[in-house]
Amino acid sequence: MNSINKISKLIIVMTIILAHHTSAGASLWWTEQMISLRFNVNNISHQQLQKLLPAIDDHKVLLFDVRRPEEYQMSRIRGSIQIAPDMSAQDFIDQYSDALHNKTLIFYCSVGYRSSEFIQRINKQTDLQSVRAMHNLKGGIFRWYNEKHPVINNDGETNALHPSDESWADLIENR
C-alpha cells in the first residue's frame, strides 16, 4: 500500500474517532482540516458561496453536487447539478464542456472529501483551461447546513440531510 493510501485511511479513521468524541461542529472542523491536508485544491467558505448564489442564477457560477443520487434527492444546495462521485474527467468534459467556458466552478459533497478528490481528478485536464476558477466548498453541505443555510429537495426547503453513512451522521447538527 502506498503512503497516500495509508494517509487517506488514517484521515478517515481519525475523523470517525473524533466524530464520536466531540461535538458536531468540532468534529466537522477537524474533518475539514484533514481534508485540506490531504487535497491540494482551492476551497471556498460557506459565507463566500452565500454571496455567490446570485451568480449561479446569472449562470456565471456552476455548482456541482458530487454525491450519490439518493443523497442529492434528499437535499441539496439550490442551483446545484448532481454528478456521480466516480465520474471520469473525460466524461465530465464531454457532458459539460459547452457550459464551462469562462465560469467559476464550485464542487461540494457531504464534507468535502469526494468533491476535492473530483477536483484533483479533473484539474489535470487541458480542456478546462477556459474555466475561470474551481473551488471546493469547505465542509461540504454539512457545513452549509450546520451554518443554517437552506437546503432544498423537489418539494422545496427541507431540514432533511443525508448523512452519507452512519459514521458521518454525528457531523450534522440537528435543526
Task: Identify whether the C-beta of residue 144 lies closer than 8 Å to the C-beta of residue 65.
Answer: no
Task: Provide the pLDDT for residue 56.
Answer: 85
> Domain 3-171 carries which CATH code?
3.40.250.10
Q: Which long-range contacts (CB under 8 A, 24 or more apart) does 8-14 make?
A: 8/38, 11/35, 11/37, 11/38
The residue extents of the domains of the chain are 3-171
Q: The whole model's pTM is what?
A: 0.86
Task: Provide the pLDDT for residue 23.
Answer: 61
Give the pLDDT confidence of 55-68 residue by residue, as tens digits: 888 889 999 999 99
Give the pLDDT confidence of 126-143 residue by residue, as tens digits: 678 889 999 999 999 999
Task: Provide the pLDDT for residue 24.
Answer: 62
* Residues of the chain under the 50 pLDDT cut: none
Within 8 A by CB and 6+ apart from 138, the residues are 32, 36, 43, 44, 45, 46, 112
